């Protein structure tokens, strides 16, 4: 990734916004947070947005806001970042891992249906690498069983159809995300008034007035400095996502799909993840050519030591993805020449499939 290239043109405005906050003397839950919440809700097409400290705590608060309690089960994928299941465990619930689909690395609705038990309270699909999960099918499963649908959209800000069908959705503004700040930040979005109100209460120690405490909550607030930066970057994210899509189309046009499996069309390409049974060889060839690559989730969550106490799960699509996936360079300002170099490095070590 090239974060600086993405931000360069906006850095003067971001610096000015930061200085405005310093000069104002308002640092916690002030006008910048309130304005960003309104602007983000409008951009995403939801009624409410609640700024919190980071994407992980956004998930924790969202799960509590929809009624997940200790002893419940929550279905989620195992091919995702640890925070998805960590948040479930943090509220005292048990993560139940279901398999993903071959095409988009997102939860398989049929696998979710098969995993439902009398203890299931919610389903947490992840819009992985910026590709939307099949929310219509997952919503149908949840409705049949009376379950809450909590969308983990940390990697999918601006993706079409995200945050519109779930009970609540969560975002991360970690510096590598499509919409990011200069540090940690998170957002809970929902069109349910009760979920929004509970989230606001939980983020501030279980209180709405600093005097009366109705729940054991958290100190989890998006601060004014980060909100100010996010307000500068928010209008640019649609253009950045369009540039990512154009870069993905260019990879295809350059013939990358002749030697590796390409990611699905659509989404916002937070990461550009290809599949190959020769991952180590491709990564080595790229490194030799000066091209950076990354392996994400090589040890999926159902194989992590922390979850060894859970009943074993047979997740063949997840295991195959963990063995074969490789992230190639993807950022809004990537040039055609850079992409040509990436494709040359990959095709140089692989014969056409």
Range of the domain at 247: 237-347
The answer to whether the pTM exceeds 0.95 is: yes
Q: Which pLDDT tens digit goes with each residue over 194-209?
A: 999 999 999 999 999 9
Torsion region of 266: left, alpha or beta (phi above 0 gives left; psi -120 to 50 gives alpha): left
Any idea what the CATH number is for the domain that residue 247 is in? 3.90.1150.10
On the question of pLDDT at 3 being above 90, the answer is no
- Tell whether the torsion through CA atoms of 11, 332, 323 and 307 is positive or negative: positive
Under a CB-based contact definition with an 8 Å cutoff, are residues 292 and 2 in contact? no
Helix axes of 83-90 and 55-65: crossing angle, nearest 10 degrees: 40
Under a CB-based contact definition with an 8 Å cutoff, are residues 36 and 59 in contact? no
What local confidence, expressed as pLDDT, does residue 72 receive?
Answer: 98
Any idea what the CATH number is for the domain that residue 208 is in? 3.40.640.10
Q: What 3-state class would DSSP assign to 240?
A: helix
Task: Tell me the C-alpha to C-alpha distance, in Å, between residue 141 and each of 74, 112, 192.
Answer: 13, 8, 19
Are residue 51 and residue 141 in the same domain, yes or no?
yes
pLDDT level of residue 351 (50, 70, 90 thresholds):
low
Q: Which pLDDT tens digit goes with each residue over 73-85?
A: 999 999 999 999 9
Answer with the one of 209, 235, 261 that is the final residue of a domain: 235
Q: How many residues does the chain have?
A: 353
What is the rounded distance in angstroms from the CA atom of residue 32 to the CA atom of residue 93?
34
Strands 94-98 and 73-77, by their bridges, are: parallel
> Across the chain, what does the average pLDDT equal?
97
Answer with the one of 235, 260, 282 that is the final residue of a domain: 235
Q: Which pLDDT tens digit goes with each residue over 240-279?
A: 999 999 999 999 999 999 999 999 999 999 999 999 999 9
Q: What is the mean pLDDT of residues 24-37?
A: 97
Start-to-end Cα distance in the chain:
28
What is the rounded distance in angstroms from the CA atom of residue 122 to the CA atom of residue 204?
24
What is the rounded distance in angstroms from the CA atom of residue 92 to the CA atom of residue 88?
7
On the question of pLDDT at 352 being above 70, the answer is no
Torsion region of 163: left, alpha or beta (phi above 0 gives left; psi -120 to 50 gives alpha): left
Are residue 207 and residue 243 in the same domain, yes or no?
no
Are residue 200 and residue 127 in the same domain, yes or no?
yes
Q: What is the mean pLDDT of residues 315-340?
A: 98
Are residue 177 and residue 63 in the same domain, yes or no?
yes
pLDDT level of residue 5 (50, 70, 90 thresholds):
confident
What is the rounded distance in angstroms from the CA atom of residue 169 to the CA atom of residue 141?
17
Residue 104 inside a domain? The answer is: yes
């Amino acid at each position: 990734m090239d974060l600086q290239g993405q931000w360069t043109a906006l850095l003067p405005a971001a610096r000015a916004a930061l200085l405005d906050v310093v000069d104002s003397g308002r640092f916690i839950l002030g006008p910048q947070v309130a304005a960003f919440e309104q602007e983000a809700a409008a951009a995403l097409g939801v009624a409410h947005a609640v700024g919190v400290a980071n994407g992980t705590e956004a998930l924790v608060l969202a799960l509590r806001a929809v009624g997940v309690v200790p002893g419940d089960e929550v279905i989620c994928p195992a091919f995702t970042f640890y925070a998805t299941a960590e948040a479930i465990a943090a509220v005292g619930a048990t993560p139940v891992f279901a398999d993903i689909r071959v095409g988009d690395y997102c939860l398989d609705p049929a696998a979710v249906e098969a995993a439902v038990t009398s203890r299931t309270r919610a389903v947490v699909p992840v819009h992985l690498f910026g590709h939307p999960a099949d929310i219509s099918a997952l919503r149908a499963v949840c409705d049949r069983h009376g379950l809450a649908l909590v969308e983990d959209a940390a990697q999918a800000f601006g993706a079409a159809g995200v945050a519109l069908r779930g009970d609540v959705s969560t975002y991360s503004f970690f510096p590598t995300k499509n919409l990011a700040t200069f540090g940690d930040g998170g957002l809970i979005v929902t069109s349910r008034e009760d979920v929004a109100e509970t989230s606001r209460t939980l983020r501030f120690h279980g209180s709405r007035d600093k005097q009366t405490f109705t729940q054991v909550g958290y100190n989890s607030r998006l601060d004014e400095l980060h909100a100010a930066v996010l307000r500068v970057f928010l209008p640019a994210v649609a253009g950045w996502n369009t540039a990512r899509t154009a870069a993905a189309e260019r990879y295809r046009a350059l013939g990358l799909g002749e030697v590796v499996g390409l990611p699905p069309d659509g989404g916002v390409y937070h990461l550009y993840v290809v599949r190959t049974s020769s991952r180590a060889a491709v990564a080595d060839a790229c490194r030799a050519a000066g091209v950076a690559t990354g392996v994400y989730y090589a040890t999926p969550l159902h194989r992590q030591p922390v979850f060894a106490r859970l009943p074993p799960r047979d997740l063949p699509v997840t295991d195959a993805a963990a063995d074969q996936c490789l992230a190639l360079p993807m950022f809004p300002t990537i040039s055609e020449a850079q992409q040509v170099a990436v494709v040359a490095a990959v095709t140089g070590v692989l014969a056409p499939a």
